[in-house]
Amino acid sequence: MHHSDDIANLFNRLGAHVGDYQEIESVFEYHEESLPPTPAPAPSTTARQPLSRLLQEIEQQRQRLEAASGAPQAFAPLGKARVVAVVSAQGGVGKSTLAGVLANALKRPGGRTLALDLSPQNALCLHVGGTLQWPGIAQNAGGHGRELLREGYGGSHCLAYGVVDDVQRVAFEQRLANDPLWLAGYLAALDLNAHDTVIIDTPPGASVYLSQALEVADVVVVVTTAEAASYASLDQMDRLLAPYLQRPAPAHCTFVINQLDTSRQFSLDMCAVLKNRTGMPLLGVVRQDHFLSESLAYDRDPLAHTPNTRGCQDALDLIESLCELLVQTTREL
């Protein structure tokens, strides 16, 4: 069927004549509505603001958030002093003498060295050029440590234990037992900085003084001698140190063989045994030197003039090794 037949049939049905059919050519013009031009973005003023202003705005936002949440503002810590605890499992190993030598000669750039006596023997003050009359922490445990500081050899400072009777000593020890972090708070009140070094002398064996020192120590120096009794006592020291070495950030433990008598083959053999002992690294060996041991009698600093005696040279080497170790512990912290 053609297109014309369809048209004729449609007209017949509607009663119209097919001759009236006309083709209408429609022409439609479509006009697209043009959208308004997109305005160019305004130039950013942020880039032209000085950096100091941007930082101030960030700080103000942070302060508003902290004020809203009640959070305290954070201040950059000054850093704490490095603390060296000089310890031993038994007496008679020259621990206090060695602690005094370290305090007198150890110098870290830009820092001070503080000798702190936590032993009721109260001997450390004598090894740094002081007297037993110096006031001490056991006499004034609740006071300010800055008032008790005394100057010692080599520009060092000392906090003595002080001369106390049994009643005062027991009361002080009870205070330390009740507050395991007493020494940490005491040192914090001294306003020490990260360049300062604290050398702590402790009594031999287990005590509340040892516990206080180990709580704050960055480095623990175990002093021993090349003798059978000293070797046996190291097992006890391992047990005392064990709880503190299991902490997330334990102190660095090392040991020193002190007063080595090189004229005795037994001492040399014991020194070799101690060097091979596992558990902690060897910091150094100090040979027996009467110049060191007699310095206290003559009220002199044994390292003041860099003497050539072998024990003093060993002590200087030991101090150098300790300074290097303190630098390492500072980086680790």
- pLDDT tens readout for residues 141-153: 766 778 899 999 9
CA–CA separation, 5 vs 10, rounded Å?
9
Q: Using 50, 70 and 90 to split pLDDT, how confident is the model at 10?
A: low
Of the pLDDT bands very low, low, confident and very high (cuts 50, 70, 90), residue 76 is very low
Q: Is the pLDDT of residue 33 over 70?
A: no
**Is this model's pTM higher than 0.85 or not?**
no
Residue 8 pLDDT? 63
- How far apart CA 118 and CA 194 sit, in angstroms, is 22
Pairing of strands 82-87, 197-201: parallel
- Which fold is adopted by the domain 82-332? Rossmann fold (3.40.50)
Q: Which of 30-39, 153-162, 227-236, 237-246 has the lowest mean pLDDT?
A: 30-39
- Residue scoring higher pLDDT (198 or 139): 198
Give the span between the Cα atoms of 273 and 218, in whole angstroms.
27
Phi, psi of 306 (to 5 degrees): 45, 65
Query: 85-132 pLDDT, tens per residue?
Result: 999 999 999 999 999 999 999 999 999 999 999 999 999 999 999 999
Neighbours of 195 (CB within 10 A): 14
Q: Compute CA 169 distance to the chain's CA centroid, rounded to the nearest angstrom.
A: 31
Q: Domain-by-domain residue ranges, the chain?
A: 82-332
For residue 286, how many other CB atoms are within 10 A of its CB?
26
